[in-house]
Structure 1
């Protein structure tokens, strides 16, 4: 069966995914002080980070419209999947579902399924790769859905950022009773909840200790790592990402390791120096 996987632009695509012909990106958009940025191949991370640093305002994002998803569903592929940023953090999931409804109203039934990643960034990347793996094995549409939903249930997302300001100001940390004072250079180790919201797992003084603490959190929850891909994304700090990779490889072996630089939306939330790990 032919298939297509649409990943909203919070999820980074590897070069292999871009070349495969099976993956498309549904772009979110960002506004910084009135400057409009489409999160696609034209995204310039260095320029974006300069604009954010110079701005007194918090950048804002908007998700793809239902009509945009509907356009992506209108293709020759027999099986179509969308993977979105956690529904707890963005309207992208609801938009993708509405797009499916619009498509079916206009064109009739089609095998379309929307996955709520309950994650972000490389969490979405891994889900896209899992879909492709299942399709290449010749699984039925329903079997792919069941297998990938089970995979999402087992997936864990962790991150350490230089600053939580954008997450705070955009309401992505609602429900957290306290966030440690950045004036003390305390770095919270954050992670995903089973529902796809954000929780604080631990904390440490300084970024190096924060990253080491994150590695401890990852290691404490690792299972069957030889069957899994370790995925790391970073915002303008490749050496930190590699250091995290090396620390984790000292603890376990993995089927593969992916390190990607964050695209637009992930750069907005991770901010300069942020590192995200998904297993």
Structure 2
């Protein structure tokens, strides 16, 4: 393995765009939808992208293990010995894929020491690529245009912009938004699917993304790396950065924002008052 993970950025970006092309081949046709044990949808596109990414990453770094949403059954006994590995969601936002609204992404992250040190997020319908790596500026590239550096915006105290899940809103989030409206002025709400939500904060289009509901580690890792590289943070409600390769692969509730303004007292106040 290369000692500088950022040297993998170009290769991983190319793998993500190839996976996106495979997804689009299926997206533009009629496709079947199966359902996993938890009731979430699964399509041929998930599996095609998973197989492509797995094969490509094994060629790039044959010594590194890989955990994907589509290979989640690897035991904790095996995973507990991993220090550095790839964490992949080959099609994040399958509901958005099935609904054909375009808001789905390919997520590839490199985890080292329980932290995402590299992340690539690709949105194939929009041909938008986000990258992030420790020590390197986060970037956004659209439709083979110029590579643009991105950074979080620092909340100014005026009307905030809040990102909300399009498919998983929930009562806790509704109450948090009500509280933000009461204390910070009427918030602008951006509804979005998949890891796009974290990327909107990373590129300065939103101030905060509170996720007060269940997600898995592969849903957040790649975009988490992008947010970090853009100067933001992804923390649980105790203010600690999200960790990866836990025994339980579910994330706690979390907040994405810039590194200066502390939204947690407000979010926790909402949670306590509503007994969540």
- TM above 0.5, yes or no, is no
Give TM-score, length-normalised by structure 1: 0.28
Q: 1 or 2 for the larger relative contact order (CA 8 Å, sep ≥6)?
A: 1
